[in-house]
A and B are shown apart, each in its own frame.
Chain A
């Protein structure tokens, strides 16, 4: 059904029994219950068909004399998840879709009876915009209830009335905060912000909604009018802060500020027109299409098949350093029992404190309640000596990056675990195959590479060694999905995927630093490109020792194009290891940058003469990453360019709006990429020599993403 058909159907009265996604019943109190229950799906979304059904029902409601209407969902964990993104991304008639939603919600707003949205489950984007058109909103206190307007994360703005109605409901500054953050919040926070009027248990939600029906129509809100004198100032402040954060790369935030602030001085119809204009312009742009693509890639990772997986309940983590403790905390917070072990009680004590601090942070950020955090911490059981491990389903080794140490740990583990326990290593660069070699059953060994900080980074690389069984790999995939992380399956090559691509970039940054580039200018150049953090700051954050470890593995594997600058050794010799020692390329005080580390800059061959421009710096660092990314595809570390881009965005924060290194290469043009790399090679720097795949693609005029499926032919 297209939009036009939906509109005409909306004009007729459609009996409820033929509307599969939206059901209408009227109870003895004269209250109509509108239930969203998409057939054959666990979620509700607004697509053209559903909107058509809703339109018909709303028209019907308008003609009847009712005390009230309650909108609700029959799904266990979703109210309405928002607009159907596939349709929005694919449709030829976006304007029609936007108008359709706006019109229906406007009609809901115009109903003469009392309207209440009874929200249980995810209520996002269009789902919440419909709720905003109601007189009242009540929400369940369940965990699955999450409310918000996440459009900004997709490079869009709420355009079914959300940008118009929210400032009217909760005032301008709060509305801006909700829309610009794009956060989905628990009902308690939504209540505090005024997004919902009351909270209750799920089973009492209809009762609660009826109480609001009994209370009658609310008085019209004029709250937004108070902001008329100040809207320009609010907009200016918001714009300044957004520009500082996004460096102008994300047009949606600026459009949102414009539409939302002006909503207080416009009439609703005027403001709806502005919403529509803004979203249509944004949806046509590259930024939004890249962000929507990332959304789909995340969805793809969440549903990556794992047919042979076993379920994991009890885990063990070996090593309670930053990574080990972070992994243990995440497992425990996700309901898994964790046996945490380390070489001695002092190490364990610090590891447990790290976990405790992470739980405290989760409490502060209201991700976990007090009792949930305590229960989580209680799930971590410590062992400073060898204890029986027969009940453990999965062991994650997060000890020091030393092959001998790891081999010894795995040999010992094999003696103590059950025959079907999966043994995983969190190594960031060592060979999984090599670690597994010599064990009686090497097939149970798999790489499970978490990124630092574990609680923030959603990506987990699952590295299949040469001997890894499908059972081990599938179990790892399913487990990673189960604990709310996003898996990418990679081949067991040095540095796997993410570090392999990231490291040349970091090494190049250090080379440029040694050659005299200004520390801050260097980092600024990459921030301008859209990275979340400059490369030298990132090195400080990761730890120079950790980076040097990974670097060593990669440099040994690829000596022709990678080598660790000597400055690493000099800094490490002086116990300068980055943020954790309060000195790296920068100096730190209380965890904050307090200036450039003079000791480090004095080690350079040349000083702050800004020999290279911002664009030149960017070019060298970014194109080196593209070259390595292409090589990973060439070597089949992964099979699909989408995996490369997804992993780099989720694992390193690679400028999401650019869609990842390969998508960015496509947008620059492969021929141009190759040409730039060849030009850089002329300075006798071999690392820039374009890889065979790029050269071949240039010759054949191919792209990474195009009509053809993949640049690497299958088979």
Chain B
């Protein structure tokens, strides 16, 4: 048992780039490698010193099982340092961090390379299971006749692939798409389309105003086959207007719905890497930590209302810490959907946990503008929050996310 304070010692991220744009040529392992190397090279930390690599990734690529291990080895982390990939859907990035915290508490180690990555552009197309068996008999069939018979059995629908991305964003228990769960919250909390669009506009405006601050988090990604450097997030729209947002059609409920591509998080590629360790390790490495991880909590809820996850996780965390919402100088709620964030705010108030002041919430914008590379977002929020605390001289930050499947994650960070 180690009761020392646990710090985020350093952290970087890649630019966040919209699906199919500047980072589409790289796989998840490539992106994770860039982030891992970014933090190792910039701090000069000897990778032999690391106890384990823990990385979150929702859709692990088929060609890189245990992606954390693949990326770690490709980053020059020596063979003897183990690596594990963790998956808690949208909270996979925080899961990596909290796993490190638990390991340190248990005395398993004192320095972890953690983070999260998602290459939404690389998520494959899937053929139906029915087609798989038919393909197999086509390839494995003996003689022309068997092969011909197998070929005849193939139906057009066998050849229509489903994007795994679509499956991944659909809850297999309640069979609702994530956007549909946001529509439920919008209906139940009476959140109008205009309120959602206004929140989306706020995200873009804040993110574009904070572009320089956000750039401090970023290490360039090099597309070596094209000879280009990717330096900036590309989802933020500085010229976004309410009128333009109002023109977008609802995606999940075509006629009556309110959730559009404009007021949802963007589908994005990106990676984040952090060094998490005890404060004494930070001193040993001669690095000034970004901040302290005080505590964390996960909580479950109704999968159909997964967007409310933060309410339960925050409630649990605050009770553990005997603190109130008002104690936080800064609050990051992951912007999966504008409707979902607004529902969380209303529910927190309704059940008496408290009201979040606008000037404390997502001050540098959120996933609606920057994008939501699902495995990476949790770690990105921690990095962004700690950098912002240091900038403003604030002391405490609360980071929370909703999680597909009906969960919430919450972390309490401090900058002493």
Please, how many angstroms separate the alpha-carbon atoms of A339 and B44 in the complex?
11
Residue pairs across A and B with CB atoms within 8 Å: the count is 54
A390 touches B224 (CB 8 A): no
Closest Cβ of chain B to A226, distance in Å, is: 35
Do A353 and B220 touch (CB < 8 A)?
Answer: no
Which of B225-233, B265-273, B345-353 makes up part of the contact surface? B225-233
Stretch at the interface among B35-43, B246-254, B276-284, B362-370: B35-43
Interface residue stretch chosen among A118-126, A381-389, A647-655? A381-389
B76 pairs with A348, CB closer than 8 A: no
* Residues A390 and B44 in contact, CB atoms below 8 Å apart: yes
Query: Is the pair B33, A353 in contact by a Cβ cutoff of 8 Å?
Result: no
Contact A381 B37 (CB under 8 A): yes
Cβ contacts A327-351/B at 8 Å (1 or 0 each): 0000000000101000001101110
- Given A348-B229, A349-B228, A353-B226, are A378 and B44 also a contact pair (CB < 8 Å)? no
Contact at A355–B37, with CB atoms within 8 Å? no
Within 8 A of B (CB), among A367-405: 374-375, 377-379, 381-385, 387-391
For residue B175, CB closer than 8 A to chain A, the reply is no
Shortest Cβ distance from residue A530 to the other chain B in the assembled complex, whole angstroms: 38
Would you call B46 an interface residue if the criterion is a C-beta within 8 Å of the partner chain's C-beta atoms?
Answer: yes
B223 within 8 A of A: yes
Is B224 within 8 A of A355, CB to CB? yes
| A591 CA to B224 CA, complexed, in Å | 21
A residues less than 8 Å from B224 (CB atoms)? 349, 352-353, 355-356, 377
Q: Would you give the 0/1 interface string for A557-587, flagging 1 where the beta carbon is closer than 8 Å to chain B?
A: 0000000000000000000000000000000
Chain B residues, CB < 8 A from A339: 41
Q: Does B135 lie at the interface of the complex (its beta carbon under 8 Å from any beta carbon of A)?
A: no
A residues less than 8 Å from B294 (CB atoms): none
Closest residue on chain B to residue A386 by CB atoms: B42
Determine if A382 and B44 form an interchain contact, defined as CB atoms under 8 angstroms apart: no
Q: Are A381 and B41 in contact (CB under 8 A)?
A: yes
- Given A349-B222, A352-B227: A337 and B76 interface contact (C-beta under 8 Å): yes
Q: How far is the CB of B265 from chain A (nearest CB, A)?
A: 27
Q: Are B41 and A353 in contact (CB under 8 A)?
A: no
Give Cα distance in the complex from A353 to B226, angstroms: 7
Assess A345 versus B41: contact at CB under 8 Å? Given A378-B74, A381-B76: no
Also in contact, A353 and B43, with CB within 8 A (given A348-B222, A379-B76): no
- B222: which A residues are within 8 A, CB to CB? 345, 348-349, 352, 382
Query: Which chain A residues lie closer than 8 Å to B225 at the CB level?
Result: 353, 356
Tell me the bound Cα distance from A375 to B70 in angstroms.
11
Given known pairs A350-B227, A356-B225, the reply for A391 and B44 (CB within 8 Å) is yes
CB distance from A675 to the nearest CB of B (A): 55
Contact B33 A378 (CB under 8 A): yes
Interface bin, chain B: 20 to 34
Q: What's the Cα separation between A391 and B47 when bound, in Å?
A: 11
* A345 in contact with B44 (CB, 8 Å): no
Report the separation of the CA atoms of residues A390 and B45 in the bound assembly, to the nearest whole angstrom: 10
Decide: B76 and A387 in contact? CB cutoff 8 A.
Answer: no
Nearest-Cβ distance from residue B57 to partner chain A, whole angstroms: 19
- In the assembled complex, which residues on chain B have CB atoms less than 8 Å from the CB atom of A348? 220, 222, 229
Contact with A along B13-50 (1 / 0, CB 8 A): 00000000000000000000100010001111010000
Residues of chain A with a CB closer than 8 A to B44's CB: 387-391
The minimal Cβ–Cβ distance linking B32 to chain A, given in whole angstroms, is 12
> Closest Cβ of chain A: how far from B282's Cβ, in Å?
15
Q: Are A353 and B42 in contact (CB under 8 A)?
A: no
Q: Is the CB of A353 within 8 A of B74?
A: no
Q: Is the CB of B76 within 8 A of A345?
A: no
B411 to chain A, nearest CB (A): 29
- Interface positions of B from 268 to 316, Cβ below 8 Å from A: none
Which residue of chain B lies nearest to A360 when distances are taken between CB atoms in the complex?
A: B225
A348 to B37, alpha carbons, bound, how many Å? 16
Q: Whose C-beta in chain A lies nearest to the C-beta of B42?
A: A387
Residue ID in chain A nearest B30 by CB atoms? A378
Among residues of B, the one whose C-beta sits closest to the C-beta of A390 is: B44
The answer to whether A345 and B220 have CB atoms under 8 Å apart is yes
Specify which of A349, A378, A383, A391 is in contact with B227 (CB 8 Å cutoff): A349
Q: Within the complex, which residue of A350, A374, A387 is in contact with B41, where a contact is CB–CB below 8 Å?
A: A387
Residue of B nearest to A344 (CB): B229
- Residues from chain A with a CB closer than 8 A to the CB of B33 are 378
Are the CB atoms of A346 and B226 closer together than 8 Å?
no
B46 (CB) vs chain A CBs: closest residue: A391
Looking at the assembled complex, report how far the CB atom of B234 sits from the nearest CB atom of chain A, in whole angstroms. 15
Q: Tell me, in angstroms, the Cα distance from A352 to B226 when the chains sit together.
A: 10
**Considering only CB atoms, which chain B residue lies closest to A378 in the complex?**
B74
For A388, list chain B residues within 8 Å (CB).
42-44
Q: Mark B194-235, 1 if CB is under 8 A from A, else 0.
A: 000000000000000000000000001011111111010000
Closest Cβ–Cβ distance, residue A389 to chain B (whole Å): 8
A349 touches B76 (CB 8 A): no
Considering only CB atoms, which chain B residue lies closest to A374 in the complex? B74
For B34, give the chain A residue with the smallest CB separation.
Answer: A382
Q: Specify which chain A residues have a CB less than 8 angstroms from the CB of B229 in the assembled complex.
A: 345-346, 348-349
Closest B residue to A341 by CB, please name it: B41
Nearest neighbor of A346 in chain B, beta-carbon distance? B229
Q: Do the beta carbons of A345 and B231 come within 8 Å of each other? A: yes
Hey, which chain B residues are within 8 Å of A353, CB to CB?
A: 224-227
The minimal Cβ–Cβ distance linking A268 to chain B, given in whole angstroms, is: 48
A residues 538-565 in Cβ contact with B at 8 Å? none
With A and B bound together, what is the CA distance between A348 and B219 in angstroms? 13
Among A346, A348, A349, A381, residue most surrounded by chain B Cβ atoms (within 10 Å) = A349
Tell me, in angstroms, the Cα distance from A285 to B62 when the chains sit together.
Answer: 62
In the complex with contacts A346-B229, A353-B225, A353-B227, A384-B220 CB distance below 8 A: yes
The docked-state distance in angstroms from the alpha carbon of A375 to that of B33 is 12
**B41, B46, B228: residue with the most chain A Cβ atoms closer than 10 Å:** B41
A348 to B231, CA, bound (A): 12
B75 / chain A contacts, CB cutoff of 8 Å: 378
Q: How far, in angstroms, from A375 to B73 measured CA to CA in the complex?
A: 9
A345 and B37 CA atoms in complex are apart in Å by 16
Q: How distant is B83 from chain A, measured CB to nearest CB, in Å?
A: 15
A377 CA / B222 CA spacing, docked (Å):
12
With A and B bound together, what is the CA distance between A345 and B229 in angstroms? 6
Docked complex Cα distance between A31 and B225 (Å): 54
B37 proximity list for chain A (CB < 8 A): 381
Q: Give the CA-CA distance A337 to B48 in the complex, in Å.
A: 14
B-facing residues in A656-686 (Cβ within 8 Å):
none
A383 and B226 contact, CB distance less than 8 A: no
Give A391 to B44 CA distance when docked, in angstroms.
Answer: 8
Complex formed: what's the CA distance from A390 to B226 in Å?
Answer: 32
- How close is B294's CB to chain A, nearest CB, in angstroms? 29
**Chain A residues closer than 8 Å to B231, beta-carbon distance:** 345
Q: Roughly how many angstroms separate A374 CA and B63 CA in the complex, as a whole number?
A: 14
A378 to B225, CA, bound (A): 13
Contact residues in B for A355 (Cβ distance below 8 Å): 224
**A349 with B223, Cβ < 8 A, contacts A378-B33, A381-B76 known:** yes
Interface positions, chain A 581-622, Cβ under 8 Å from B, are: none
CB neighbours of B43 from chain A (8 A): 388
Residues 86-110 of B at the A interface (beta carbon under 8 Å)? none
Residues of chain A contacted by B74 (CB below 8 angstroms) = 374-375, 378
Q: Which residues of B contact A384 (CB under 8 A)?
A: 220
Chain A residues near B220 (CB-CB < 8 A): 345, 348-349, 382, 384
Q: State the CA gap A337–B47 with chains docked (Å).
A: 13
11 contacts across the A-B interface (CB closer than 8 A): A348-B222, A349-B223, A352-B227, A353-B224, A353-B226, A383-B41, A385-B42, A387-B44, A388-B42, A388-B44, A389-B44
Given contacts A348-B220, A352-B227, A387-B41, 13 further A-B pairs with CB under 8 A are A339-B41, A345-B222, A345-B229, A349-B220, A375-B74, A377-B224, A378-B75, A379-B76, A381-B41, A383-B41, A387-B44, A390-B44, A391-B44
Instruction: Give chain A's interface residues, CB within 8 Å of chain B.
Output: 337, 339, 345-346, 348-350, 352-353, 355-356, 374-375, 377-379, 381-385, 387-391
Query: What 9 A-B pairs come out closest when comparing CB atoms?
Result: A388-B44, A353-B227, A345-B229, A356-B224, A349-B229, A352-B224, A345-B220, A378-B74, A352-B222
